[in-house]
């Protein structure tokens, strides 16, 4: 059963990336499934006498604990968002989720908050272009550096449509479907 799910997901990923490259991406159930893979990380849950703890399988050092499964689930989301919400001046991007990891009895998927995902994706897109924040601000025709820095801050990011249009023009590969 898991093998068939993985094969279906691989087929959907192939279709997703082909459509993305051709510019013909439309929202389908398959695209929604692929998007759900991109914005989630995987946590392995461990049970001990004192309670539960979990570690993110893709992000070394992203750990949390809880006395109940419900508390642990809340803590995993909080730990993931805090972990990915790295300092704005950091030049080291974290790895994207590993879509080959399947849900199992002790492995769960945890969705990244959209504002954290947007800020993180903006940062890694800029870094892939070997740009500083100042370079990106100039490329987007921002009047000051702070205007750009807000895009890489999950607490401050809330871009207007005209800003999203500028981002798309400057970075054609930037796909909002990956963050919402």
**Residue 175 pLDDT grade (very low, low, confident, very high; cuts 50, 70, 90):** confident
- How would you label 142-158 residue by residue, b for 16+ Cβ within 10 Å and e otherwise? beeeeebbbbbbbeebe
Least confident of 27-36, 58-67, 156-165: 27-36
- Rounded Cα gap, residues 126 and 130, in angstroms: 7
- What does the pLDDT read at residue 96? 79
CA dist 11 → 15, 38, 39, 139 (Å): 6, 15, 18, 36
- Rounded Cα gap, residues 179 and 174, in angstroms: 10
Of the candidates 106, 97, 116, 84, the residue with the CA atom closest to the CA atom of residue 9: 97
- Rounded Cα gap, residues 179 and 175, in angstroms: 8
**How much is the pTM?**
0.68
Of the candidates 26, 134, 110, the residue with the CA atom closest to the CA atom of residue 62: 110
Q: Give the H/E segment covering residue 4.
A: helix 2-22
- Rounded Cα gap, residues 10 and 38, in angstroms: 13
| CATH top-level class of 40-112 | alpha beta
- One of 1.10.10, 1.10.3470, 2.115.10, 1.10.260 is the CATH number of 115-178, namely 1.10.260
- Domain locations along the chain: 1-38, 40-112, 115-178
What is the tens place of the pLDDT at every residue in 125-148?
888 899 999 999 999 999 999 999
């Amino acid at each position: 059963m898991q093998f068939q799910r993985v094969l279906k997901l691989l087929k959907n990923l192939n279709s997703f990336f082909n459509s993305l490259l051709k510019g013909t991406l439309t929202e389908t159930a398959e695209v929604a499934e692929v998007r759900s893979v991109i914005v989630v990380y995987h946590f392995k849950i461990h049970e001990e006498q004192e309670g539960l703890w979990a570690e993110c399988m893709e992000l070394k050092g992203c750990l949390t604990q809880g006395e109940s499964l419900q508390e642990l689930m809340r803590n995993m989301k909080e730990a993931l968002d805090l972990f990915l919400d790295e300092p704005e001046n950091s030049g080291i991007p974290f790895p994207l989720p590993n879509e080959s990891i399947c849900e199992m009895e002790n492995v769960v998927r945890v969705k990244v908050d959209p504002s954290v995902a947007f800020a993180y994706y903006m940062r890694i897109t800029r870094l892939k272009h070997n740009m500083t924040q100042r370079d990106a601000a100039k490329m987007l025709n921002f009047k000051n550096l702070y205007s750009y820095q807000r895009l890489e801050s999950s607490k401050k990011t809330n871009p207007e449509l005209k800003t999203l249009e500028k981002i798309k023009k400057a970075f054609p590969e930037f796909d909002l479907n990956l963050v919402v």
